[in-house]
A and B are shown apart, each in its own frame.
Chain A
Amino acid sequence: MLQNPIEHLSVEQKNSKIIVCIKQVPDTQEIKIDPETGTLIREGVPSILNPFDEYALNLAIEIRDRFRNNSEVVALSMGPSQAAEALRKCLAIGADSAILLSDRAFAGADTYATSYTLAKAIKKLGPASLILCGYEALDGNTAQVGPETARLLGLPAICYVERVEALDGGEITCKRESEEGYELLKSPVPALITCMTTSSFEPKLPGVREIMAARRKKLEVWSLEDLGGSKDEYGLRGSLTRVTKTYTPDIKRKGVRFEGKEGVKELISALRGII
């Protein structure tokens, strides 16, 4: 459970939305490389809800429940139809509704095209007080979609947030990680927040009741037609970068092997000159 991520809350914006952008990702810890071909083995790799997005969702739910202000938590994702699974999980965890942006035209998007698609959907959803997302996804690790989306929406971005310290009137104060430690940053709302997990965060597993209840919640699928605009603005065509080549890294070293406690002496003497 979250340990008091929000210390002090009071907000005037009633009935507004809190939108959480989530991504279904392959569990990169489980990815293996085929030693023969040197390619990724994708079969059997479990898909998971990106852990930083899961934290963002929990933070959004926490904000909604403490306010008791009828704000609606909407989980939003762009992905293939199987990504609905991750959104169902969000509904089971406590999101009120979910929207999947899915269309062949959205495929192959880089961070800009992804941000563009999310921004279009967020605008269509109507006024939101907060937009939350994980600070990066496990598969891409770019951390770009949050700040790029914020800019496209003309909203302030607060990145690397661990806790919301206060949400008062039109302002939010967040504790966010910096290169040297932390800072407390105050920003007007609406704002977009990218979240890191805190060490005390343990994702709660939804029970059977929550999973059943989630089935009755609204999960819509929006296509290109729903977002409007031309095909060229989305996916691969709307991307501003292109992947020219992929390959597997070769970083192997030929190691000298020592065994057990007896090997310690040999190891230390081998390291002489460095230590």
Chain B
Amino acid sequence: MTDAKEIWVFVELTSAGIRQVSLQLLAKARALEINNRVAALVPGGNEDVLKELSKHGAEKIYVVEGLDGYKLDTYTEVIAECIKKYNPHIVLFGATHIGRELAPSVASSLRLGLTADCTDLSMQVDNLIQTRPAFGGNIIADISCKTFPQMATVRPNVFSAKEFDGEAEIIREKVNAPKSIFEVIEEIKAQGEHRSIEDARIVISGGRGLKRKEDFEMLEMLASSLGGAVGCSRPIVEKGWMPKSAQVGQSGKTISPDLYIAIGVSGSVQHQAGIKSAKKIVAINSDPNAPIFDIADYALVGDLYEIVPAMIEELKGEKNDRA
């Protein structure tokens, strides 16, 4: 593969290991129709990490040694240097908090085009077609870069990670990272009151149909009887009833649970954009014309204040029957 073009995936490491989106991107990069070689760019990383990356589709791994914990300035400098040195064809980042500040910072340093929050990628000869929602999910746009390397950030959970055979070639890149001007004074982990909606198999979401903040307790009860997590639509976050981390939709999280239950959510296009890859969607709404019903597999028209308690009862009954 002499003329193979390198596709780089920036690998994000957390205290728990590799962030899922990085593995999802490796799989997608492997599937792109171009004579390519998929490389992971990883800051540090122990043998376990390298093994994982190799197993998930990295054919080459650039291990950047000499970088401390994540800081925007030092990572920008070092990644920009690596890109200049090796000149890959494409560089992909996960659209996470880190990816969404790091990618633009790198792109702007190198005067490269960058597309944000892609939900699909494909090749048109040498050009990467970057598909993303715009106008709050009302339209979809295909975008390409005029500059090379082509750069994009990609939403988590739109692709699936896969396993591959073969052993990755390891390139160790020692750098003298400049000292960061930033200082992290404290890290505050979000408390466990809200289960992450991204990892949950079942997500129950509340919208404007709920009249009071306290009514979310009803959703929590339903969620706990189903083993699910509770999310919400944008207006609920704007009211301050739920944290931003629980927001589903275009300006919140894209999720792909096995089951999504939208309760009192009208289903604006931006909300729909966040759930379109859910396996099954249930919508409960008193308005028979609510847009959410357009993308529901099961539509239940009625008063949520009657329906939700009835569901909780029904599930309780089922449990007792099984016991």
| Contact surface of A with B, Cβ cutoff 8 Å | 26, 28-29, 31, 33, 40, 51, 110-112, 115, 136, 138-152, 156-160, 173, 177-188, 196-197, 199-200, 239-249, 251-253, 255-261, 263-265, 267-268, 270-271, 274-275
Query: Within 8 Å CB of B145, what residues of A?
Result: 240-241
Q: Closest CB-CB distance, A199 to chain B, in whole Å?
A: 3
The residue of chain A having its C-beta at the shortest distance from the C-beta of B268 within the complex is A29
Query: Within 8 Å CB of B295, what residues of A?
Result: 251-253
Which chain B residues in 209-244 approach chain A with CB under 8 Å? Answer: 226, 234, 237-241, 243-244
A6 to B152, CA, bound (A): 35
A179 to B244, CA, bound (A): 11
Q: Are A243 and B116 in contact (CB under 8 A)?
A: no
Q: Are A40 and B135 in contact (CB under 8 A)?
A: yes
B85 within 8 A of partner (CB): no
The residue of chain B having its C-beta at the shortest distance from the C-beta of A176 within the complex is B97
B29 within 8 A of partner (CB): no
Q: Are B97 and A141 in contact (CB under 8 A)?
A: no
Q: Closest CB-CB distance, B283 to chain A, in whole Å?
A: 7
Which chain B residues in 171-192 approach chain A with CB under 8 Å? Answer: 181-190
Q: Are B299 and A181 in contact (CB under 8 A)?
A: no
By the criterion of a CB under 8 Å from any partner CB, how many residues of chain B are at the interface? 93
B73 within 8 A of partner (CB): yes
Q: Are B140 and A263 in contact (CB under 8 A)?
A: no
Query: Within 8 Å CB of B310, what residues of A?
Result: 261, 264
Count of inter-chain pairs, beta carbons less than 8 A: 265
A52 to B137, CA, bound (A): 18
Which chain B residues in 50-88 approach chain A with CB under 8 Å? Answer: 72-73, 76
B143 within 8 A of partner (CB): yes
Query: Within 8 Å CB of B4, what residues of A?
Result: none
A218 to B100, CA, bound (A): 35
A7 to B101, CA, bound (A): 26
B160 within 8 A of partner (CB): no
Q: Are B146 and A184 in contact (CB under 8 A)?
A: no
Which of these, A146, A199, A270, contacts B237 with CB under 8 Å?
A: A199
The residue of chain A having its C-beta at the shortest distance from the C-beta of B145 within the complex is A241
A54 to B141, CA, bound (A): 27
Q: Are B133 and A249 in contact (CB under 8 A)?
A: yes
Q: Are B184 and A183 in contact (CB under 8 A)?
A: yes
A51 to B251, CA, bound (A): 12
11 CB contacts below 8 A, A to B, read A33-B138, A151-B109, A157-B105, A158-B182, A177-B97, A182-B190, A186-B183, A248-B140, A253-B297, A256-B298, A274-B202
Q: Are A136 and B140 in contact (CB under 8 A)?
A: no
Q: Are A183 and B188 in contact (CB under 8 A)?
A: yes
Majority secondary structure, B binding face: mixed
Query: Within 8 Å CB of A245, what residues of B?
Result: 141-142
A245 to B238, CA, bound (A): 33
Which chain B residues in 270-292 approach chain A with CB under 8 Å? Answer: 270, 272-273, 276, 279-283
Q: Closest CB-CB distance, B263 to chain A, in whole Å?
A: 12
Q: Are B108 and A148 in contact (CB under 8 A)?
A: yes
Which chain B residues in 250-274 approach chain A with CB under 8 Å? Answer: 250-251, 258-259, 268-270, 272-273
Q: Are B250 and A141 in contact (CB under 8 A)?
A: yes
Q: Are B315 and A268 in contact (CB under 8 A)?
A: yes
Considering the complex of A and B, which 6 residue pairs feature the smallest CB-CB distances, nearest first?
Answer: A28-B136, A199-B240, A240-B113, A142-B116, A181-B190, A148-B108
Q: Closest CB-CB distance, B233 to chain A, in whole Å?
A: 10
A24 to B189, CA, bound (A): 34
Q: Are A268 and B76 in contact (CB under 8 A)?
A: no
Q: Are B298 and A270 in contact (CB under 8 A)?
A: yes
Which of these, B115, B268, B272, contacts A241 with CB under 8 Å?
A: B115
Which chain B residues in 97-133 approach chain A with CB under 8 Å? Answer: 97-98, 100-105, 107-109, 111-117, 129, 133
Q: Are B270 and A255 in contact (CB under 8 A)?
A: no
Query: Within 8 Å CB of B239, what residues of A?
Result: 199
Q: Closest CB-CB distance, B146 to chain A, in whole Å?
A: 5
Query: Within 8 Å CB of A200, what residues of B?
Result: 240
Name the segment of B39-47, B161-169, B300-308 touching the other chain.
B300-308
With A148-B104, A151-B76, A267-B282: A258-B143 Cβ-Cβ less than 8 Å: no
Residue among A199, A239, A248, A275 having the largest count of chain B Cβ atoms under 10 Å: A275
